[in-house]
């Protein structure tokens, strides 16, 4: 179980006034040496933004120095109001303190050991009243416990700081003796100090810790064995038959590597079916081997096999999405997330959460999407991964669920990251735009791709500009009037994501104007249609693929595939037999077949923005291709 600290503003104020200039270095080393993390909410940032290190040379801003080691989590205002109502308005702490208490409770429910650091005794009493499942301690005890975790020099410096902070806490408590009964608070402060690591060193918990540590070593050894890495003979003896039983799961990673090595597949169904067949076979073989074993040995095996199983379920989720089956995709990605929780890899959980968030956007479940992206953001901060993609999509989701303050908070945090590295921001925003196109959300994709283009212009990425121009043209042709009106206000929200210079703004406007003009030209009816069968190359140049924008299925199971061509714009491929397994982003090739071309009905033109409807004489002449090299990118980013 990992240990996390949720820290309030007063603790930072104490540190700012008393900490020596060695403090941050000591703190960082201690946090990096164990499973400890510091959490805050945006309200804490606001309360300490002017605090400085008083004893440091030049008195630097505390928040600037701390920012990189803090995990900042936004809490919904509705949750704050609900907790205040539950506690009672008179007894309730301030909103920032409530947000910290909610955060602490959320982290505790995720299986973390949470300590809320605050010298406000009301947060302890109300937290117990609301049964929020975290412990509390004052800043002085927090510093003492950090000292207990450090080396000799760190212990000496942090204990000295802890004593000075404790003296300040006592002076403040005594000064308030005439306003309330301080006995309970003083008792709490002393009890929290006595519960430090030194006082508990001789308790039997150490035995449990050793047991947990031994189990972790066995899981690690079994994992290495599965990968055919060297393991000590004495450890192999402890594992018994597990290495042989679990060995087949390595075939899953080998299968994924072969599947993605070609870069693309023109038979996604076959790729999916072969992957499911292999997974079923591996689960059957390993399950048969584990069945006679005891619960403890089986648990070791499941934890060691969770990595390959996570990767295979993630890949199956991506394949299902590429074939247009979003419900099946969600099932596989949910299983992937379940397996990821057994792996000591927060990144695996983060990636699964992100993909599930995209599916929630596709289902227009904005609240679920925002919760998934916010959790992915929190996990990205734990491992030092990029937050930008999660923050942007969390902000969009909150905006669409009409939670505008939370949306602004996410986009403000994202904006700060964009300003730090606009080249990287352009790459990430392009990837987000592509992901939104892949779930048939061109309106959202346009808003994100606009920001990506601004960053590309400012960083002189000319090759990237051409790619973005084609993506924006595709998104514009996929957009219809209904979707355009659905995202009112989003443009204004995302405009704050990047601060662009006047010169770059002029170039951006020129490029967008050019794209808009091309989109207008490509929205006009086709110059020519014909009712007689003609060679496909008369309309679609030979060897020139179409890109699927969406697949529209009617009540009779017939399919109209809305596709885009950079020279033709949007056209509909009419396949009355249906049965198409494809998704946005797939490519279509027409091989040696004849076609007919008819003008679209007014309803279809308004609904899909298409220029014409194409009937294909031989449906077998169509091949659908998806990029399989992206699968492992999503699994192992």
Count of Cβ atoms closer than 10 Å to residue 540 Cβ: 22
The dihedral of CA 115, 120, 123, 125: what is its sign? Answer: positive
Contact 442, 436 (CB under 8 A): yes
- Mean pLDDT per segment of 10 residues, for the chain of length 637 residues? 81 92 91 83 92 92 91 87 76 79 86 85 72 84 86 85 83 65 61 51 41 73 90 87 93 88 74 93 94 86 91 91 89 88 80 92 92 90 89 94 89 92 94 91 92 93 90 85 66 85 88 88 83 86 83 85 86 83 85 87 84 86 77 60
Q: Residue 559 is encoded by which pair of tokens?
A: 């399919």
User: How many domains is the chain built from?
Assistant: 5
Domain for residue 199, yes or no? no
The reported pLDDT for the residue numbered 85 is: 82
Strands 587-590 and 546-553: antiparallel
Q: Residue 510 is encoded by which pair of tokens?
A: 């020129």
To 10 degrees, what angle do helices 183-194 and 152-175 make?
Answer: 170
Domain for residue 293, yes or no? yes
Q: Are residues 36 and 86 in the same domain?
A: yes
For residue 52, the 8-state DSSP code is: B
Contact 380, 387 (CB under 8 A): yes
Q: Which helix (H) or strand (E) holds 616?
A: strand 613-616
d(Cα 445, Cα 487) in Å, to the nearest integer? 11
Q: Among 358, 386, 420, where does a domain finish?
A: 420
Q: Residue 288 is encoded by which pair of tokens?
A: 């048969």
* Domain at 591, CATH number: 2.40.50.140
CB proximity list for 48: less than 8 A, separation 6 or greater? 9, 12, 13, 16, 62, 63
Q: Are residues 269 and 359 in the same domain?
A: no
Domain for residue 426, yes or no? no
Q: Are residues 182 and 277 in the same domain?
A: no
| Residue whose entry in the numeric block shows the structure tokens 């000799």 | 152
Q: Are residues 17 and 81 in the same domain?
A: yes
d(Cα 164, Cα 16) in Å, to the nearest integer? 12
Distances (CA, A) of 370 to 123, 366, 425, 445, 515: 28, 6, 20, 17, 31
Domain for residue 152, yes or no? yes
Q: Among 521, 547, 569, where does a domain finish?
A: 521
Contact 469, 460 (CB under 8 A): no
Q: Are residues 16 and 94 in the same domain?
A: yes
Domain for residue 429, yes or no? no
The reported pLDDT for the residue numbered 203 is: 38
Domain range for residue 389?
A: 345-420
Q: Are residues 278 and 248 in the same domain?
A: yes
The reported pLDDT for the residue numbered 178 is: 56
Domain for residue 428, yes or no? no
d(Cα 449, Cα 394) in Å, to the nearest integer? 16
Q: Are residues 416 and 442 in the same domain?
A: no
Q: Among 168, 194, 220, where does a domain finish?
A: 194
């Amino acid at each position: 179980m990992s240990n996390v600290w949720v820290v309030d503003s007063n603790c930072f104020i104490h540190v700012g006034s008393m900490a020596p200039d060695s403090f941050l270095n000591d703190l960082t080393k201690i946090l990096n040496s164990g499973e400890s993390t510091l959490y805050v909410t945006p309200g804490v940032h606001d309360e300490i933004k002017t605090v400085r290190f008083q004893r440091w040379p030049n008195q630097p801003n505390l928040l600037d120095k701390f920012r990189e080691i803090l995990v900042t989590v936004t809490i919904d205002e509705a949750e704050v109001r609900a907790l205040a109502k539950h506690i009672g308005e008179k007894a309730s702490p301030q909103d920032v303190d409530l947000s910290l208490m909610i955060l602490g409770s959320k982290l505790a429910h995720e299986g973390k050991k949470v300590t809320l650091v605050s010298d406000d005794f009301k947060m302890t009493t109300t937290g117990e009243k609301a049964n929020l499942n975290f412990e509390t301690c004052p800043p002085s005890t927090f510093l003492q416990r950090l000292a207990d975790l450090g080396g000799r020099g760190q212990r000496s410096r942090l204990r000295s700081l802890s004593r000075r902070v404790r003296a300040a806490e006592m002076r403040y408590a005594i000064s308030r003796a005439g306003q309330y009964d301080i006995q309970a608070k003083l008792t709490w402060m002393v009890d929290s100090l006595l519960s430090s690591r030194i006082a508990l060193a001789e308790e039997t918990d150490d035995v449990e810790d050793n047991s947990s540590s031994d189990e972790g070593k066995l899981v690690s050894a079994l994992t290495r064995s599965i990968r055919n890495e060297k393991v000590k003979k004495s450890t192999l003896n402890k594992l018994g038959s597990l290495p042989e039983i679990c060995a087949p799961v390595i075939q899953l990673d080998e299968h994924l590597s072969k599947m993605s090595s070609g870069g693309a597949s023109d038979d996604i169904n076959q790729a999916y079916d072969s992957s499911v067949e292999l997974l079923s076979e591996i689960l059957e073989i390993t399950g048969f081997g584990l069945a006679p074993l005891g619960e403890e040995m089986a648990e070791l095996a499941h934890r060691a096999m969770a990595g390959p199983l996570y990767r295979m379920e993630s890949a199956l989720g991506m394949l299902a999405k590429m074939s247009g089956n979003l419900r099946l995709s969600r099932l596989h990605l949910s299983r992937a997330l379940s397996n990821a929780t057994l792996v000591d890899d927060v990144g695996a959980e983060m990636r699964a959460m992100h993909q599930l968030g995209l599916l929630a956007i596709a289902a227009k479940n904005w609240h679920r999407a925002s919760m998934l992206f916010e959790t992915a953001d929190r996990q990205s901060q734990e491992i030092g991964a990029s937050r930008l993609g999660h923050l942007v999509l969390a902000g969009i989701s909150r905006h669409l669920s009409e939670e505008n303050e939370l949306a602004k908070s996410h986009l403000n945090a994202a904006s700060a990251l964009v300003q730090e590295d606009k080249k990287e921001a352009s790459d990430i925003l392009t990837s987000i735009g592509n992901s939104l196109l892949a779930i048939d959300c061109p309106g959202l994709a346009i808003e994100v791709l606009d920001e990506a283009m601004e960053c590309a212009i400012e960083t002189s990425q000319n090759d990237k500009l051409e790619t973005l121009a084609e993506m924006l043209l595709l998104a514009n042709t996929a957009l219809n009037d209904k979707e355009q009106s659905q995202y009112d206000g989003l443009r204004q929200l995302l405009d704050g994501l990047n601060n662009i210079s006047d010169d770059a703004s002029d170039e951006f406007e020129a490029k967008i104007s050019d794209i808009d003009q091309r989109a207008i030209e490509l929205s006009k009816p086709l110059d020519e249609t014909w009712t007689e069968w003609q060679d496909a190359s008369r309309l679609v140049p030979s060897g020139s693929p179409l890109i699927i924008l969406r697949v529209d299925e009617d009540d009779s199971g017939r399919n109209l595939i809305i596709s885009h061509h950079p020279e033709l714009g949007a056209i509909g491929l009419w396949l009355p037999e249906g049965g198409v397994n494809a998704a946005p982003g797939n490519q279509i090739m027409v091989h040696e077949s004849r076609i007919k071309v008819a003008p679209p009905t007014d309803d279809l033109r308004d609904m899909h923005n298409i220029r014409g409807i194409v009937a294909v004489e031989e449906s077998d002449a169509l091949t659908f291709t998806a990029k399989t090299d992206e699968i492992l990118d999503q699994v192992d980013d």
